Amino acid sequence: MRRVYFYRALAVLYAASVFVLSVMPDSGEQGYGWDKANHFIAYAVMSFIFIRAAITPGRAFALTAFGVFIAVLFFGIGVEFVQSLTPTRHADVRDVLANGLGSVLGIAAFWFYKNRAEVKRCS
């Protein structure tokens, strides 16, 4: 039971960190094209942590994965909306796309991790 609380707390802390970093004032420096990659990676990790926190024995993986994808996608849309309200940031549909693709990767990575662990247990 302690593990469940640990992963849920980790999910909340990670989401809060992503939010804070996303609304911090932009430095104004010329970027190197890593913005979309940063979104992709951050949301892949977020989805992996979220699904780890949400999965329980007996719960259908597909339903949990879909719920995590929707939650992370709406979180990303919300962050983009908040960015549009700040003077130094702007909303970008391509960021939402990178977030969604990253979320799919994070869920797929967890699925492979989970199945690999189950195969090792059976061996």
Close Cβ partners of 71 (under 8 Å, ≥ 6 residues apart):
50
Residues of the domain holding 86: 2-122
What's phi and psi for 30, nearest 5 deg? -65, 130
pTM of the model: 0.88
Q: Domain count of the chain? A: 1
Q: pLDDT of 11-67, one tens digit each? A: 999 999 999 999 988 766 666 667 889 999 999 999 999 999 998 888 889 999 999
Q: pLDDT of 52-105, one tens digit each? A: 999 888 888 999 999 999 999 999 999 999 999 988 888 999 999 999 999 999
